[in-house]
Structure 1
Amino acid sequence: MSTIILGIESSCDDTSAAVIKDGVLLSNVVSSQAVHEAYGGVVPELASRAHQQNIVPVVHEALKCAEVNKDDLSAVAFTRGPGLMGSLLVGVSFAKGLARSLNIPMIDVNHLKAHVLAHFIKEKDEDTNQPKFPFLCLLVSGGNSQIILVKDYNEMEVLGQTIDDAAGEAIDKCSKVMGLGYPGGPIIDRLARQGNPKAYTFNKPHIPRLDYSFSGLKTSFLYSLRDWIKEDPEFIEHHKEDLAASLEATVVDILMDKLRKAAKQYQIKQVAVAGGVSANTGLRNAFHEHAKKYGWEIFIPKFNYTTDNAAMIAITGYFKYQNNDFCSIDLPAYSRVVI
């Protein structure tokens, strides 16, 4: 009998539902929220209201695209956390109600683990380009920057993480200071392709072990920009490509420096990247360069699976289903947690 998992993701501002059958993705529907662009960041109250409007049609569309009836579902997997509490509650409540109505198990999913396991999403049964255990995964997004030792589907160890801002958060804030808009990641990426990454130098933190820090870089960027604007009020407009390229290069250097140390320390050649910032061109190029230089076997997710999506929730739910790792209906959502 086939195992069919419905995945539901609502941790931030994207409402998503996906269906996986026997480990193979049948559908992955995402509804994004453009309302936050005017505010330069996600507004939690607006996000939760949009989730309430979107979740029923998104789940309906996911089932329709997968050509699966809700009565055929084996279990419902959902993001329990971390994320915005209001947004999470919409997805968690819907998942509980649906699972109870169908009398099928519920599977709670850690959003961060799901980003890592996005590498195991199969679009066809013959897809085999997946990392082998153990491997290292650099998880980089707007809210998280971590180096994770992945020992198995359900066994992961955080080797290092940010002690303040995440990489994506720093990029977004620097983009906002430049007046480039939100979200800043894609804008900085596009401009950086046209600029000189060595045009400007910004401070790099000296943090012990394998932890990260990006607050110093953000402050260095802000103060440098302030001084340059004093001399030329139109400085940003005249140099935005070089600023974006130099900012991106600094962030990538910081990320890759610690990742190299982790790979050497743990003697691991299988290295993956995950999370929203893994869509960044500069970071992807750095991974390819390191593969050539250090003999790494690298794994970079498709763009569809870098940002928040329910396919990664569904595949995580699928692996947990194999172990009968279900949850009770009284489990609450949580806003903050590490792997």
Structure 2
Amino acid sequence: MIRSGAPLVLGVESSCDETGFGLVSEGVLLGQGLASSASQHADFGGVVPEIAARAHLDAAVPTLHLALEDAGVELGDITHVAVTSGPGLATAVHVGLAAAKAVAWSLDKPLYGVHHLAGHAAADTLEHGPLPERSIVLIVSGGHTSILAVGDLVRDPIEHLGDTLDDAAGEAFDKVARLLGLGYPGGPAISRAAVGGDPTAFRFPRAMLRSGDAPFVFSFSGLKTAVARTVERIERAGESVPVADIAASFEQAVVDVLVTKALRAVRERNLSTLVIVGGVAANARLRAVAQERCDAAGIELRIPPPALCTDNGAMIGAVGDLLVRFGADPSGLRIAADPSAVLHGAQLPLPG
């Protein structure tokens, strides 16, 4: 139910292979629609940009209607529109941006261009309320693995502490799943295969954890290579590949690195809250290990439910809702897609 006079923000997301529309008002998710083209990319072992863009075109209008129906509102009830304008696949971002501009123009409503990673951070606010005054946010997805120092999500600059040097965590899951013949997307496939596996069966490398390594930088390429060599060695010996054990050992190696570095950031900044978001945040082992280690360290752990971990319009609507309540100036229809946008703040600037 929308309070009389409260803003109703439509969020639009199309940065990769999910088409998302979400409706948010005063920090509350009223409804959303989500479509995925993941099955169309399975034969290729990863997202094909042109296929994703065409799927967004096909899904945009039906998914918008799903969100409106889910929220129980009409198109004309929308007061503001927010959209991912970067980063992401160029052709995919353009489709969502065009759809958002069409809605904003037709309704004569303000439009806000939002940074995709800020959207992931805002997803948690839809479940647990406003972020604390200061927190560390670990974003883990198919395209991003980053540690951020975050204050007020829309008022304060977002400090980027570290990223991955090569594969993002989700990308590593996809590649290892392909090595093990588990299909795409790799995250859920690895998790299913790891059930019943022994996470200590193989001691895969935990990169960038030695003294002197960059404290908040990740690297998963060597881990992927170690898994590939292990599989090759077992197959050359004529033995059956222990898929469950390899999947569980790989998953544990990724989780160990993610949680260790994230907790290091919390401690070094003398903070008390860790927020984990992004598609890989749906991983059960990551959630369990992070909770165990945060409990032991006296750190509050916040992770949104799995449905809000994947790319979705709700998270973009959450950022838009915060921007509207803060009184931020709209981006307007001149906002351009920025597929390689650097994260400095929740709202992306207009082109120069």
Fold equivalence (TM over 0.5): yes
Map 1:146-161 to 2 at 5 A: 146-154=146-154, 155=156, 156-161=158-163
Contact 2:173 2:187 in 1 (8 A): yes
User: Does the Cα contact within 8 Å between 2:32 and 2:68 map onto a contact in 1?
Assistant: no
Q: 2:198: which partner in 1?
A: 196
- Give the match's secondary structure for 2:70: helix
Q: How does 1:274-313 map to 2 (within 5 A)?
A: 274-313=277-316
- TM-score normalized by the length of structure 2: 0.91
Code of the aligned partner of 1:240:
V
Using the alignment, how far apart are the partners of 1:325 and 1:252 within structure 2? 39
Partner of 2:334: 330
Identity %: 39
What secondary structure does 1:152 align onto?
Answer: coil
Matched, 1:259 2:262: yes
Pairing 1:233-272 to 2, within 5 Å after superposition: 234-236=239-241, 239-272=242-275
Number of aligned positions between the proteins: 331
Offset of residue 130 of structure 1 = 4.8
Q: Secondary structure at the match of 1:78?
A: strand
Q: How does 1:37-52 map to 2 (within 5 A)?
A: 37-52=42-57
Q: 1:211 aligns with which of 201, 213, 217?
A: 217
2:178 aligned to which of 163, 176, 179: 176
The answer (yes or no) to whether the contact 1:130–1:299 under 8 Å persists in 2 is no
What's the secondary structure of 1:331's corresponding residue?
A: coil
Runs of 4+ in 1 over 2 A off after TM superposition: 128-131
Partner of 2:166 in structure 1?
164
**1:101, CA displacement in angstroms?**
1.3
Aligned counterparts of 1:74 and 1:185: Cα–Cα separation in 2:
37
Q: Could you tell me how far 1:338 is from its partner in structure 2?
A: 3.2
Distance in 2 between the 1:161 and 1:200 partners?
Answer: 26
Q: In the alignment, what sits opposite 2:116?
A: 111
Q: Secondary structure at the match of 2:91?
A: helix
Alignment match, 2:75: 70
Q: Tell me by how many angstroms 1:135 deviates.
A: 0.7
Mapped partners of 1:196, 1:325: distance in 2: 53
Which of 225, 233, 236 is the matching residue for 1:227? 233
Contact residue 23 and residue 68 of structure 2 kept, 8 A: yes
Q: How far 1:44 sits from its partner (Å)? A: 1.0
What secondary structure, in the 3-state scheme, does the structure 1 residue paired with 2:171 have?
helix
CA positional deviation for 1:279: 0.5
> Please, what is the CA RMSD of the aligned residues?
1.3
C-alpha distance 72-284 of structure 1, shift in aligned 2 (>3 A): same
Give the TM-score of the pair, scaled to structure 1: 0.94
| Structure 2: gaps (5+ residues) | 344-352
Question: Take 1:286 and 1:254, find their aligned partners in 2: how far apart are those partners?
Answer: 11
1:120 partner letter: T
Matched residue, 1:95: 100
- Aligned letter for 2:289? A
Higher mean alpha-carbon deviation, 275-284 vs 205-214, is at 205-214
Tell me, in whole angstroms, the C-alpha distance in 1 between the residues paired with 2:206 and 2:66.
46
Please say if residues 13 and 312 of structure 2, whose CA atoms lie closer than 8 Å, have aligned partners that are also in contact: yes
8 Å CA contact retained: 1:131, 1:299: no
Residue identity opposite 1:196 in structure 2: D
**Letter matched to residue 45 of structure 1:** E
Instruction: Give the CA deviation at 1:129.
Output: 5.1
Q: Partner of 1:84 in structure 2?
A: 89
**Long gaps (5+) in structure 1:** 123-127
SS of structure 2 residue aligned to 1:235 = coil
For 1:226, what is the secondary structure of its paired residue?
helix
